[in-house]
Amino acid sequence: MQKKFTTGLVWLRRDLRLEDNRALTTALEQCQHVHCVFVFDKDILEPLPRRDRRVAFIWASVVELDAALRRRSGKRTSGLIVLHDRACAALPALARELSADAVFAAHDYELGSELRDLAVQTALGLQGTAWRTVKDHVVFERDEILTQLGHPYVVFTPYQRAWLARIESEPLGSGDDAALWQAASQALAERPARHAVAAPSLATLGFEALEPAIPAIPCGAHGASQLLEDFWQRMDSYDQTRNFPSVKGPSYLGVHLRFGTVSIRQLVRLALQRRLQGSAGASVWLSELVWREFYFQVLANFPHVVDAAFKTEYDAITWEQGDHAQELFAAWCEGRTGYPLVDAAMAQINQTGYMHNRLRMVAGSFLVKHLGIDWRWGERYFAEKLNDFDLAANNGGWQWVSSSGCDAQPYFRIFNPVMQSEKFDAQGKFICRYLPQLARLPAKRIHAPWLATASELAQAGVVLGRDYPHPLVDHAAARERTLQRYAVVKKAWP
């Protein structure tokens, strides 16, 4: 087949894998020679703290990807070109250096990324280099799933029905690129001599080496494969285990989806396969993957959600302000609320960069509906801490707990953190893991230590106010304040 281009450059970003990689396979199909590049973008890295697990995860995944490319091509001097520069300038410059006819990349949906890509596209156009982007990070994007009236969906359940119907009518295929790779392996070009040096070290990038995730979650496509193999054995029980933070229920693939070390299409294919076999766990897990797509299309079609409530009337809510609000927020961030499940959840995210999904809802709801803090404060904190931070999902989750988003929790539904604790961590195993000072309390008291008797506290060696804080707020009183706070949107509720 006649190739469209002589030399192509594949810019890998959130697709750090070889298998089922749409940008890479498109380049191999259309180009005689293909180079691959990853840019440690200074515009992204410079604002980050020097101890960032996500950078450690990316770095390890890039090193693995470089080795995988060299193995696949059979050329020791092939592999990944790795730059530490500002992408907007570095990509066009590299394309010129390589005499690339076209640059290939996967779509990126966040506003900052779209502006960056537009700048790169403009610069490439001025020098006569084609810009080709493809869909990779989601199954269906932007306006591919619409209502019968041609509008984006704003309620999840009908979106999911439409999504599943589209999958049935447009199967994903096998995702097997073996034939392409066999024919195209020789197309992977050798790196120019000045790019033959391995990826810069974390220290060179200005970061400290850290364990990337929970506990030492494996990095790269190989790590994703290990996790997926493990989850495959547990998938059928996912519906029964997913809400219990002390149980190995989740797939732990969130960070791999975030950086594309696993293909979303591969996960959907596997979930559909088990779902067709009658697996309730696979059906629920597939639903979670569709929620991810739902939030991506919300972000794409309603970009105002980045800074404001999806339901604009919710921006009329008056949140706590001033020094008192800052003190409450600091106590929440540091796990000093006096509600053990909330505090254990915050300890988990602070120590590992991960938080169980059920706890994201509990901790988020507590910040907004118990402490009266603007959901955007919590959203920013999670964005800083979560290994698997994705703007669309993070924003969607926070707007869900604040009742301001698409298909969100009703404003009058307020999680009782003690009841959530008793239901989802009945024996206090998760709490004890992250709040060991409470481990000797009776199980019935560990969810609300302030209700323990003096004798129970003494036997457990716990002094409230010293070993563990008193509750910041009373649940019943906080609930009443929240209902008053949300009164401004009561008339808008359907």
Residues acting as catalytic residues: 288, 291, 319, 357, 375, 398
- 80: β partners: 36
Q: Which of 322, 306, 403, 420 is nearest to 363 (CA)?
A: 420
The two tokens of residue 34 are 């293909």
Cα–Cα distance for residue pair 137/72, rounded to 1 Å? 23
Cα–Cα distance for residue pair 350/368, rounded to 1 Å? 19
Q: Which of 453, 414, 416, 448 is nearest to 431 (CA)?
A: 448
Instruction: Say which residues have a Cβ less than 8 Å from residue 189's Cβ, sequence separation at least 6.
Output: 7, 33, 34, 35, 78
Residue 462: how many other CB atoms lie within 10 Å: 20
- 288: β partners: none
What kind and span of H or E run contains 433? helix 429-434
Instruction: Sort 312 into a burial class: Cβ within 10 Å, 0-12 / 13-18 / 19+.
Output: exposed
CB 34 within 8 A of CB 104: no
CB 129 within 8 A of CB 95: yes
Cα–Cα distance for residue pair 340/435, rounded to 1 Å? 8
| Cα-based angle 454, 460, 462 (whole degrees, multiple of 5) | 70
Handedness of CA 281, 282, 284, 289 (dihedral sign): positive
What kind and span of H or E run contains 67? helix 53-73
What kind and span of H or E run contains 207? none
CA atoms within 13 A on the CB side of 372: 23
Instruction: Sort 429 into a burial class: Cβ within 10 Å, 0-12 / 13-18 / 19+.
Output: middle
The two tokens of residue 328 are 């409450």
DSSP for 319-386? PP-HHHHHHHHHHHHTT-SS-HHHHHHHHHHHHHS---HHHHHHHHHHHHHTS---HHHHHHHHHHH-
Cα–Cα distance for residue pair 227/42, rounded to 1 Å? 31
